[in-house]
Homo-oligomer: A and B are copies of this chain.
Amino acid sequence: MATLADIAKRAGVSVATASRVINNRGYLSAQTKAKVLAAMKELNYQPNNLARSLHGKQTHLVGVIVPTIANPFFAELVSKIERALFAIGDKMILCNANYNLEKERNYLRMLIANQVDGIISGGHNLGIEEYQQSGLPIVTFDRHLADNVPIVSCNNYQGMQLATRRLIADGCTAIHFLGNQHQKGNPTDQRLSAYQDTVRQAGMESRVHSVAFSDSASLKKAMIEDILKSERADGFVCTDDLTAILLLNEAHTLGIRVPEDLKVVGFDGTELVRTYHPELTTVVQPIDDIAQLLVHLLQQRVQDPNCQFSKLYYQLPVSLVRRQTA
C-alpha cells in the first residue's frame, strides 16, 4: 500500500508538502498541487487506511456534504441527519460545497485524510472521481455518484405528478414548469419528466422555464418577473418552495391574484416553509425518513464494508399539502 512518503517521492516534493496538499492547508502553487494529486492517483493512495489500521477503530465521525445549509431544505435535512447520528453516538463534520466543484473536492479529500467512518453526500457537483476512489462507505441523497453507492430520494416522479394533477383538477389549462430542468442522470430529473408526462396525458402543451437551483435569488426574481409579464400561464408547478415563494411575491407585486388568476404548487415542504408560508400548497418530502434511512444505510456499510443491500435506489413516498395557492 502506498504511503505518504511514496507520494512525496513520486511527486518530487517533501512529505510535509504532500501532506499539505492532501489536507488543503497553507499556500501551494497550482503546479505543486497537480503533481501531488497525480501521484496520489497513480499510486491509488488512500490516506485513511493506514491511520485506520493503526488506530484499529472507528472514529465515529461522519462527513455530510450538502450544497449549503443557508437553504432551509438542506438545513432541515442536515439537522435531522445530525439527530440520527447523535442517537448512535456519532458526530457530523458539516461540509457546505456551495455549488463549487473545487470546494467539494477539497472537502472530500480532507474527509478521507481525516479518517471519517463514512460520508453522506447531497452535493450538487457531479463527476468527482474521488468519490469512486475514496475507499470509504458513502451514501447519497438525490444524487447518482457511482454504481455501488446507495441513493435515497423522495419519489420525485410521484411528487411532480401530484402537483401537476392538482392544477389540472383545479381547472388550469396553461400549466407551466418553473425551476431546475437539468437532466444529468439524477433522481430529481424525474420532476421534469413527471410534469411533461402529466400535461401531455391531459392534452396540454408543456412549457418549461429554467431557473437553476444555484441561481441567486435576485436573478431568479428578475427572470420570474419577465415570465409573469410575457406568458399566459394560469398555473405553475415549481421544483422548490423558495422559487414558488418568489413567484408568489412577484405575482403580488404585479397585482396578479392567487389563486383566482394564478395557481401555484411548490416542492419540498420543510417545516419552516409550512409554518411561515401557510398559504403555499406544496409537495412534502419525508425529510425525517430520508435522514434516518441515510444514516441507517451508512451505518450498515461502516460495520461491514462489503455488505450488499437488497437495492441501491430507495424512493420514499411524498404527500401533497393543499393550502390556498392551489
Residues on the B chain within 8 Å of A94, using CB? 78, 82, 92-94
In the bound complex, CA of A24 to CA of B103 (Å): 32
Residues on the B chain within 8 Å of A225, using CB? none
In the bound complex, CA of A92 to CA of B275 (Å): 29
Chain B residue nearest to A246 (CB atoms) is B276
CB pair B91 A114 closer than 8 Å:
yes
Q: 1/0 contact trace for A66-105 toward B, CB 8 Å?
A: 0011101001101100110010010111111010000100
A74 → chain B, closest Cβ, in Å?
9
In the bound complex, CA of A89 to CA of B110 (Å): 9
In the bound complex, CA of A110 to CA of B60 (Å): 10
A215 → chain B, closest Cβ, in Å?
12
Question: Which of B24, B61, B70, B89 is in CB contact (< 8 Å) with A79?
Answer: B70
Q: 1/0 contact trace for A132-167 toward B, CB 8 Å?
A: 000000000000000000000000000000000000
Q: Tell me if A23 counts as interface (CB < 8 A to partner B).
A: yes
In the bound complex, CA of A170 to CA of B98 (Å): 41
Q: Tell me if A255 counts as interface (CB < 8 A to partner B).
A: no
Chain B residue nearest to A90 (CB atoms) is B25
Question: Which of B70, B114, B218 is in CB contact (< 8 Å) with A272?
Answer: B70
Q: 1/0 contact trace for A31-48 toward B, CB 8 Å?
A: 000000000000000000
In the bound complex, CA of A89 to CA of B272 (Å): 32
CB pair A91 B93 closer than 8 Å:
yes
Q: Which of A233-253 contact B (CB under 8 A)?
A: 242, 245-246, 249
Given A70-B272, A79-B70, A276-B249: A95 touches B89 (CB 8 Å cut-off): no
Q: Which of A286-300 contact B (CB under 8 A)?
A: none
A39 → chain B, closest Cβ, in Å?
21
In the bound complex, CA of A68 to CA of B76 (Å): 9
Residues on the B chain within 8 Å of A25, using CB? 60, 89
CB pair A93 B24 closer than 8 Å:
no
| 28 A-B pairs in the complex with CB atoms less than 8 angstroms apart | A23-B89, A24-B89, A61-B93, A68-B79, A69-B78, A70-B75, A70-B79, A70-B271, A70-B272, A72-B72, A72-B75, A79-B96, A82-B95, A86-B106, A91-B93, A91-B95, A91-B107, A91-B110, A91-B114, A92-B93, A92-B94, A93-B94, A94-B94, A217-B276, A218-B275, A246-B276, A249-B276, A249-B278
Task: Given A61-B114, A72-B75, output 4 extra A-B contacts at Cβ < 8 Å.
Answer: A70-B272, A83-B98, A217-B276, A245-B276
For the complex of A and B, the 7 pairs showing the least CB-CB separation, nearest first, are A25-B89, A75-B75, A94-B94, A217-B275, A70-B79, A69-B75, A245-B276
